[in-house]
Structure 1
Amino acid sequence: MNYTYKNIWLINFPVMMSILIEQLINITDAIFLGHVGEIELGASALAGIWYLTIYMLGFGFSLGLQVVIARRNGERHYQETGKTFFQGLLFMVGLAVLLCTISKVFSPMILIQLVASKKVYSAVINYLDWRIWGLMFSFPFLVLRSFLVGITLTKPLNTAAFTAVLVNIPCNWLLIFHFDMGIAGAAIASSFAELCSLVILSIHVLRKMDRKVYGLNWQFDKNILRHVCQVSIWSMFTPFIGVASWFAFFVAIEHLGEIELAATNVIRSISTLFFVIVNSLAATTGSLVSNLLGARQKHLVIPLCNRIIRLGYAIGFPLIVLCIIFSNYIFYIYSGNGNLIQMARLPFIVALLNYAFALPGYVYMNAVTGTGATRITFIFQTVTIVAYQIYLWSISYFSTSLSVYWTAEYLYVILLGLLAVIYLKNKNY
């Protein structure tokens, strides 16, 4: 299994499109809400990150599930991939119900203690009241994606991705402006778009996949479920604490002011496109590393990672240059507020240039996940988060500059990548 640049890209592109679903939904929300008002634009940032924090519990579990499926695929135990898929689906549906219930009860109690502006808090809760139900659709979608990425048959993800975007954009316009639902309309549109993408992917798996070859017949196997949970429990909490720390970053910005929060949301929304590239390549890395180890080709792991990083630079750097050149035009898509645009310009450049460090950091860390060492990735993430929070807390005492706040992201990804490289080069996995 010596994956070429072309092989990697053909596997990665549908993964990138599927990750783009969630992010384009957030981007679309931000663009429409930016024309409603700065309060709604800023609130959608906090609400979106809060939702993403909860969503990451399911996303992290799906990464562990993907590792197990990919290992079975690499071993040519194809029927085991389907059995593993169904155990993951059972767990994720139950998790979605549990998290929706917990969020409805506890989110208002927690957020009222963290958000300084009453207007922002009210808008955040209004958004979450509708958005949280999207977990019922996004979690099963993640399980389907883990299965398809694990067996490296990722093309159907393209159709699902485009369906979500095509549904979300007109629904946003209708619900936010035509029916005058404001930020609640954006939440409803987003959840409905996720439902549509789930339906499309489910139809493909049920009608076009060979059920006999992949063991796609419903059956409960407690031993497989136990093994999946043992692998996934650490990968489940690793991205969760990562995004939770990012939520702390946005809370710190919210205390600077409502316009600062709105400017930060614009920066986050645009830079999300590069987050999609990084995370799709990282997810692909985890799957391909698992397949390599299943085929007993450990010596190809580091060369594979380096090849993926070079591919990511070739894709991302030209886009970064274009974004910097045309930044003013891009900002005006979100808001016509001149003060907001002026405030966002420099931190926007700082955020984009972090791509150079984020790509290797996440690729190497997901390679560690691909080896099955999910507990190690959790430890690395925890160490990194502690350093990140100390840095963020320290700069809050001497600076109110958004550019300085965004440098915290550099510390996070550089330290994460260094720990992962040290592990990959010194451990027998």
Structure 2
Amino acid sequence: MSKTPGTYSYRNIWKVAYPILISLVMEQMIGMTDTAFLGRVGEVELGASAIAIVYYMVLFMAGFGFSIGAQIIIGRRNGEGNFRDTGKVFWNGLYFLLGIGVLLIIASELLSPLLMKHMVSSTAIYEAALDYVRWRLPGMMFAFCTVMYRAFYVGTTQTKALTANSVVMVLSNIIFNWILIFGHCGFPALGITGAAVGSSLAELVSLIFFMIYTRLKCDRTRYALERPGAFDWKEIRAMLPVCSWTMVQHIVSIFTWLIFFLYIEHLGERSLAISNIVRGISGLLWMILAAFSSTCSTLVSNIIGAGREDKVMSLIKRILKLSYAIVLGCALLFCLFPKAVISIYTDIPDLIPATVPSMVVMCSSYIFTVGAMVLFQAVSGTGSTKAAFRLELTALVIYTIYCTITAGILKLDVAICWSAEHIYAIALLIICYAFLRSGRWRNRKI
């Protein structure tokens, strides 16, 4: 994108955001196909996939969170005009994540059976969830490489690369899942295990695509990507003050999401199945919001790198207006036609009307979630990732206490438990707004 950092109009913001949005739509379809396919296998498989996917995401977020920090640094270097330094960040981030991936796979293989047994009360869900995790973990190595490519292309505002990659990835996942879950083309029907294997293979296809795209379409000389760079521990140490906090923040954030689902699991298999469907529907709104919040983070980083701190607040306001218009518009449509939306995820007759109240509660939370996430990513984009972690940790503590009371102790209806999303978003919105207004993010060096 050639627009001078600091002068982003609504059109310029959209040019960065829409390829991210399309890529997230495609990637969200991976979760949708897993849920939709397994929703036709059985409620146990549907519920187990909710636990297993969130459990896997706790591990995956270590790598994804690190890549978000790398994206912020790449954005700052890109704004400064230090293009070859973006390549150094990319290569060393990639090497670091590969090492982290190996350690996580080994640790999970050793500890997952013990952890799952203590977390899940249903034997059937425990066994199905463990099968999913074991077959999903090898794909994490491919995913860690992919998120670094994503960090590079978003950080340098070359987001069109994400669109084509995500289309290839989701088509691969649909084909692999259709074959392996239901047993087509001569393969045995593997059920939930097939969903895990299919997703891992799709991650591999995504990585191969990024490698080919970078070789053919990217100016590799400009960004020092013409050949693998040497591992530089000094570069890693320079990245860690930013990346370590985004990594920890994402792990803690998704871990509290896991706690929520574990509380719901103890309410029964029906409540868990409902929540898994609502999670999938929420993902449709979340991907739109994530596109704009990710755009906010990288554009804030770019304009600060260009020395235009005075333009940060006006940029945030523009992104907020676009985000609210699109996200709340979609949420309203979901509430007007709830059964049509829910039927995408399951064809179990009595499960569809039972899911409607929880879905409406979830949709209403985006009144606050939109503002909270855009402002939070703006804080991260300034390079104040340690402060961002502290802000979200505060909101997550409040969220966890509320979940513990409503779902863990009182065991209220699952729809009421989903109001925890309101509590989290309101808390995060207030404290992020206060931080940005304080100006403590100015002159932050990374």
Give me the TM-score of the superposition, normalised by structure 1. 0.97
The match for 2:342 is 331
* Partner SS state of residue 337, structure 1: coil
The match for 1:191 is 200
* Partner SS state of residue 3, structure 1: coil
Q: Distance in 1 between matches of 2:37 and 2:72?
A: 37
Equivalent residues in 2 for 1:309-320, closer than 5 Å: 309-320=320-331
Question: Is 1:368 matched with 2:371?
Answer: no
Equivalent residues in 2 for 1:280-359, closer than 5 Å: 280-359=291-370
The match for 2:395 is 384
Q: Deviations over 1:338-357 (max 9, x none)?
A: 33222211110110121221
1:422 aligned residue (407, 428, 434): 434
Q: Distance in 1 between matches of 2:340 and 2:404?
A: 34
TM-fit CA distance, 1:87: 0.8
The match for 1:412 is 424
Q: Distance in 1 between matches of 2:289 and 2:109?
A: 32
1:112 aligned residue (105, 111, 117): 117
Q: Deviations over 1:172-223 (max 9, x none)?
A: 1111112210000011111111111111111111222222211224223332
2:284 aligned residue (244, 266, 273): 273
The match for 1:76 is 81
TM-fit CA distance, 1:366: 0.9
Q: Distance in 2 between matches of 1:50 and 1:23?
A: 17
* Amino acid paired to 1:48: I
* Contact kept in structure 2, 1:78 and 1:214, CA below 8 Å: yes
Q: Deviations over 1:114-167 (max 9, x none)?
A: 101000000000111111112111111100011111111111110100001111
* Amino acid paired to 1:199: I
Q: Distance in 2 between matches of 1:9 and 1:38?
A: 40
Q: Which runs of 4+ in 1 moved over 6 A?
A: none
The match for 2:210 is 201
Q: Distance in 2 between matches of 1:315 and 1:353?
A: 14
TM-fit CA distance, 1:239: 1.5
Q: Distance in 1 between matches of 2:139 and 2:239?
A: 24
Q: Name which of structure 1's ranges 311-320 and 283-292 shifts more when overlaid on structure 2.
A: 311-320
Q: Deviations over 1:30-78 (max 9, x none)?
A: 0000000000000000101111111111111011101111111111111
Q: Distance in 2 between matches of 1:399 and 1:182?
A: 31
* Amino acid paired to 1:386: V
TM-fit CA distance, 1:318: 2.5
* Contact kept in structure 2, 1:79 and 1:215, CA below 8 Å: yes
TM-fit CA distance, 1:20: 3.7
Q: Distance in 2 between matches of 1:321 and 1:388?
A: 25
* Contact kept in structure 1, 2:372 and 2:429, CA below 8 Å: yes
TM-fit CA distance, 1:96: 1.3
* Amino acid paired to 2:439: K
* Partner SS state of residue 137, structure 2: helix
2:262 aligned residue (248, 251, 257): 251
* Partner SS state of residue 112, structure 1: helix
* Partner SS state of residue 333, structure 1: coil
Q: Which has the higher helix share?
A: 1
The match for 1:32 is 37
The match for 2:271 is 260
* Contact kept in structure 2, 1:175 and 1:185, CA below 8 Å: yes
* Contact kept in structure 1, 2:101 and 2:141, CA below 8 Å: yes
Question: Is 1:181 matched with 2:193?
Answer: no
In the alignment of these two chains, the number of paired residues is 429
* Contact kept in structure 1, 2:52 and 2:133, CA below 8 Å: yes
Percent identity of paired positions between Structure 1 and Structure 2: 39
Q: Distance in 2 between matches of 1:335 and 1:152?
A: 38
* Contact kept in structure 2, 1:260 and 1:340, CA below 8 Å: no
C-alpha spacing 1:398/1:222, structure 2 compared with 1 (3 Å):
closer
* Partner SS state of residue 393, structure 2: helix
* Contact kept in structure 1, 2:339 and 2:353, CA below 8 Å: no
The match for 2:173 is 168
* Contact kept in structure 1, 2:71 and 2:152, CA below 8 Å: yes
2:234 aligned residue (213, 219, 223): 223
Q: Distance in 1 between matches of 2:92 and 2:25?
A: 26
C-alpha spacing 1:137/1:274, structure 2 compared with 1 (3 Å):
same
* Contact kept in structure 1, 2:27 and 2:170, CA below 8 Å: no
Structure 1's unaligned 5+ residue stretches are none
* Amino acid paired to 2:316: C
Structure 2's unaligned 5+ residue stretches are 1-5
Question: Is 1:401 matched with 2:410?
Answer: no
Superposition CA RMSD, Å:
1.3
